[in-house]
Structure 1
Amino acid sequence: MRKLILSLVAAVLASIVIVGWSISHYAQQHETKVASRATAERLQALKLVGSNFAQILDDNHIANQQQAHLSLINSWNRHNPEQLSLINQDQFPLPPSLKMQFIHDGQLLLQSDEGVSLHYLLPNTSQVLNIYTNIIPVVPQSHNINMIYTALFYIGIVIILLLWVSPLIKQLLNLSKATQSFGMGDLKQRIPIAKYSYISEIEQEFNGMADRIQQLLDDNKLLSRAVSHDLKTPIARLRFGIEALEETDNEQLKLKYFSRLNHDLDSMEELVSTLLSYARLDQANIQPELAPLELNAWLKSKMASYTLDKHDLQFVPNPTPVWVHSDVMYLSMQVGNLLSNAERFGQQQIKVQLTQRGNVATLRIDDDGKGIDEQEAMQVIKPFVRGQQSRGNAGHGMGLAIVNRIGDWMGSPLSIHRSTELGGASMRLTFNTLKNKKTDQV
């Protein structure tokens, strides 16, 4: 994880510095070249104009037309940003070296902070034509200044980047620590998911994976303990029965022993079947076929096919249709286990009632038995855990565990309460109802 974080930061910083520096350098060079080219072209044009203008003003035919010269210069100055002036040669002082060059070449280019100026010697009139411009020579900026500005820019980019990356780095480190702790055996290790986490989906997947692994290991432990505990008794009875068969010649006793052996085999077969049924109820291996289902009509059909010999079964439907998303097979398994549980522990009455409040529907299966204590409600939904009231009754303590397991991943969770009407247990399944479902679809 450390290598990933370092490589991520290094790659981003290197990309910003290399690409940004290259673009900045290219833009600066390009801008300098363009400015220099434009300045050179403008100066060349001014030199040509100044040379021609100097020849016109120095022409012998108009050498004495001073007023015409001034009028021409004033007309130029009114229509152009470059300003002309005409002065006597002795009014244009120069250092000796530049003066000799000026007399020899007849023209001179000078540079100052105010701009570039062009000067032309008029030998016939002993005058100097001056052209003053606002052209500032393009001088490359100091390399040190550029380095400072560039460094400040990239420092700002790095600070912004670190402010963005630091939460991601923290989340990746938390994920690494949680994974390492979970791998070392801390099965309760989970990742707290922040509201604005960049990797919330990965964190949720990790927590879901950890829950499934922990559930699988817990189930394996329960199954191992159940097999070792619950199978010992029928195996011991089988062993004693076989020994008794070997020691007796009485045909009636043999038939009695054979009957007991068959009963013990049935008990073992029932236990193994229950274990396999529970083991198959793994969310990762089950793909429920969820479809719209109208609970009133379905429960009415279910109650009609369910016969009880010693109990009065009453069904109270909801006044209006109740539509939910459910799998008929697994829902039937849930309701069947709850009805069997009510039949086993109830005395005379079982009441099934469907109600709806808002977008939540509740299916209640009440009995008139002794009920389940509040402190035992969270324990009896675990595999092979039986309440105090179930001592001496048949079963392996798997019915409510199967109902709870199905409800966890199918969206119909189980809750256990005390029945206010019948006094016994009240098993409740809750459903999220479908919206905008037509009531005439049955």
Structure 2
Amino acid sequence: MRRIYLESIIGIFICFFVGLTAYEFSVYRWTTDYEYLLEEYEASAHQEMLQNILDNQGPEQALSAISLFTKTTRNTLTTFSSDDSIPERVSKYFSLNTGMKVYFDEDRDLWIRLDGIDATFLYSPNEESLVRQKVEFENSLIWVFFGTSFVLYGVVHLLIIFRRVNKLEKATLKFAQGDLSTRAETSSSSAIGSLNRSFNIMADRIYHLIETNRALTNAVAHELRTPIFRIQWQAELLKETSMSVSQQATVESIVEDTEEMEQMVDELLCYSKLDTQHIELECQTISPILLIEGALGRWKKETSFEIILLNSEHIEGKIFVDKKLLTRALDNLVRNAIKFTKSKILIEVHEEREVVSIAIHDDGPGIETEHLSRLFDPFYVGSKARNKSKSGHGLGLSIVKKICEQHEAQVDVGRSQILHGALFTLSVPLCNKPADNHIQ
């Protein structure tokens, strides 16, 4: 962003100096400089007036007029009595142009000759005079004001653009972070051309697409429940009839598949509900240790692996959460560890900096680095073999992330330094108000 503004201000200065250069060439180099032409007309008129005074009133009056003009115009008069004492370029000009009596040199100093006086007069500005010093100062001051106003305009203009771009950037980031209701301001004081309106059109289309997808997923999940229940019910009836061993095994397989489908539908409905921005949480203040200990017995019944709770006696803080949802998040993380562990699982609890962290270690193979960035994406399964007993449906960890977002909590994944397997850490803010530290 800073590079854009730096390039803009440099571009403005380049355009400014290119414009000045173009003005210099177009006015003073490629066309007639009418300011200089006017000076030559005035010089010729002055010479003719002096010549008229010389012819009618004599040399003394002409010299007096020259002296008066020099004093009045704040110039310096230099008189050259012979051509040998004047610059060669001036002498050459008068010798080649015998009819010309005035000449401006490269410094725009005026040289004059009069018929009847054997001398050449030079008018040059008196730079020490107060008037000319003031004129020079004012000319310099014009450029100072012009340059300052130009820079001030450029800076203010860029600041206005920066403020508008910054607003649009914030809206874009909020939208990218999941707040699909975010829209850019379209007022004339905030818009950048039609960019804000185009962003809102894009956001509306994306929002409609996502909401349509959510509604479709939710509707399909709801509609699947009835046929799945019918299949389960009919399969249970079949189990009560006399069948061969192979038929019995087939019916058992059907029941298992329908149970798996039912679990997938349940996860779809849960994810669809959590994906809504304005879900109503049934929060209560509870001790994280009591929450874990309440689920620990159930977890141990689901596996033969050892599950150990560490640091439980040092945790005194309370958390304000939806007990049912947070328990489900812990269930998903622990059951994920059960799928991949080899012998045991450690649940470690830490409390620091207004946050309680629940770390779940396993001694399984861990998670490859290539899967870490997408592990919490819905339906993403790191295992290419897609073994359902191991990988599941790809919604468990996504549900954990959504539950954390609803509680302003955070879930991270890495490698355990204790068991050298996977490490999932659930970080939940502690209650900040003393009145909230009451266990319900």
- Pairwise TM-score range, normalised by the shorter structure: 0.3 to 0.5
TM normalised by structure 1 equals 0.45
TM normalised by structure 2 equals 0.45
